[in-house]
Amino acid sequence: MALSNRQLFLQHVAQTSPAPIGLEIVKAQGIHMWDANGKAYVDLISGFSVMNIGHGNERVKEAIHQQVDDYMHLMVYGEIIETPQVQYAKRLSELLPPSLNCVYFTNSGAEATEGAMKLAKRVTNRSQIIAFNNAYHGSTQGALSIMGGEYWRQAYRPLLPDVLHLDFNTQEAIDSITEATACVVAEVIQAEAGAQPAEQAWLQALREKCTATGTLLVFDEIQTGFGRTGTMWAFEQYGVVPDILLLGKALGGGLPLGAFIASHKHMQQLTHQPVLGHISTFAGHPVCCAAGRAALEELQKLVTANHLLPAVAEKEALIRQCLQHPAIRNIHGRGLLLAVEFESADLCQRICHAAVQAGLVTDWFLFAPHCLRVAPPLIITEQELEAACALLTQTISAVVATQAASS
């Protein structure tokens, strides 16, 4: 008998966990996904903060089709003038402070992290990198070296030397930055820690110490960018500008794309000694850039037409109001990057599993397995949010009741 797609998935597609969600989705549109049996699911996590404007946006699909018709791959990164790349880089620069005016497009968020660390070494001629506990910046070996958790790093040593892991929001971190530090890599809101925001005064002090020591400040907005936390970039809420900005996820409008963005002057370092300081065949793929640019235009249209960004804050308030249950200990985060905290990782996993069965796709956080992720597409309506929160609350009650009955 022929194997089912689920069996083939488990056998022939490399697995990264003993218990993948394992849904077979055949269609996605707006905030919804449908499985092979026609059952609908609300995407409560936007494909991990990627589909900020929802699935299946018509303009994004048109841009992809147009670019596929024009051309796909031409040459390795940086040799030929590819209009989608140029136009998208210009558009991003217009939305960023003047010092962030030069974009290196990559294939992924992790590659953006790699590029930023290399650039910081070249600009400063130093090697030390400071990063934070409970931070995630990607899974390649350089990015893994600065990942904030020994559990994740220990099996892959030796990793990059000269990395200091410090606690987020602490004075010790500020004091540890010296003239030997090439860069500090930080998220403005630590996503995988369970959506933990930086403190305003701390982020400012971080900036000041980096400036005083000639250290480059790198902000990883791969998960927080493109309106997720209620402003286009989370750093806008702090008035603190990094030297290098990392983008990814929603950057490609659903296609794979990352970027590290710095000043033109800094970026020049990648052109000499050695020439080709960072090389990548598919980085900044024209189809991905066309899709990303269209997605950004759509996001901006929604911002002006529907006041999308202030609405993100209103939707956060609505979730906080609707998601009330004795089993919920707290809700962390900002905008539509929220972490609903439970007493234990075990309870949270049971709720995640039951939520998927009930038609809500959600997940937990790498460093906060006791927290459930609520990060739907920004276009979700208030009615849809209320319905999703009601279903989640019922699911929590059912799981808690089952647990009480079995203990």
Quote the least distance from Cβ 209 to ligand PLP, whole Å. 22
**Beta carbon nearer to ligand PLP, 242 or 399:** 242
Kindly state whether residue 195 participates in binding ligand PLP, applying the rule CB under 6 A. no
Quote the least distance from Cβ 189 to ligand PLP, whole Å. 9
Please provide residue 106's backbone torsions phi and psi, each rounded to the nearest 5 degrees. Answer: -125, 180
Rounded-to-integer distance, Cα 405 and Cα 50, Å: 39
**Beta carbon nearer to ligand PLP, 116 or 396:** 116
Rounded-to-integer distance, Cα 32 and Cα 359, Å: 10
* Closest to 255 measured CA to CA, from 22, 51, 80, 394: 51
**Beta carbon nearer to ligand PLP, 222 or 371:** 222
**Of 54, 109, 197, 230, which one interacts with ligand PLP (CB under 6 A)?**
109
**Beta carbon nearer to ligand PLP, 142 or 350:** 142
Quote the least distance from Cβ 204 to ligand PLP, whole Å. 21
Buried/exposed code over 271-292 (b: 16+ C-beta within 10 A; e: otherwise): eeeeeebbebebbbbbbbbbbb
148, 187 contact by CB (below 8 A): no
**Of 30, 138, 194, 227, which one interacts with ligand PLP (CB under 6 A)?**
138
What residues form DSSP beta bridges with 166? 132
109, 256 contact by CB (below 8 A): no
**Beta carbon nearer to ligand PLP, 191 or 296:** 191
Kindly state whether residue 129 participates in binding ligand PLP, applying the rule CB under 6 A. no
Contact string (CB under 6 A) for ligand PLP, positions 48-77, x = contact: x-----------------------------
**Of 96, 117, 119, 222, which one interacts with ligand PLP (CB under 6 A)?**
222
Q: For ligand PLP, which stretch binds (CB under 6 A), given 76-84, 86-94, 121-129, 218-226?
A: 218-226
CB-nearest residue to ligand PLP? 109
Half-sphere exposure of 233 toward its Cβ, with a 13 Å CA cutoff? 25
Greatest alpha-carbon span in the chain: 68
Kindly state whether residue 363 participates in binding ligand PLP, applying the rule CB under 6 A. no
Rounded-to-integer distance, Cα 147 and Cα 238, Å: 24
**Beta carbon nearer to ligand PLP, 126 or 373:** 373
Rounded-to-integer distance, Cα 98 and Cα 144, Å: 30
CA 259 vs. chain centroid, Å, equals 12
Buried/exposed code over 40-59 (b: 16+ C-beta within 10 A; e: otherwise): ebbbbbbbebbbbbbbebee
**Of 52, 67, 108, 269, which one interacts with ligand PLP (CB under 6 A)?**
108
Kindly state whether residue 243 participates in binding ligand PLP, applying the rule CB under 6 A. no
Please give the sequence-ordered ranges of beta strands (E in DSSP) within 85-227, or none if there are none: 102-106, 128-132, 163-166, 181-186, 189-190, 196-197, 216-220
Q: For ligand PLP, which stretch binds (CB under 6 A), given 107-115, 120-128, 205-213, 280-288?
A: 107-115
Kindly state whether residue 223 participates in binding ligand PLP, applying the rule CB under 6 A. yes
For residue 323, give the amino acid letter: L
**Beta carbon nearer to ligand PLP, 85 or 108:** 108
**Of 191, 198, 259, 337, which one interacts with ligand PLP (CB under 6 A)?**
191
Kindly state whether residue 106 participates in binding ligand PLP, applying the rule CB under 6 A. no
Q: Which residue ranges make up the site for ligand PLP (CB under 6 A)?
A: 48, 108-110, 136-138, 187, 191, 220, 222-223, 248, 258
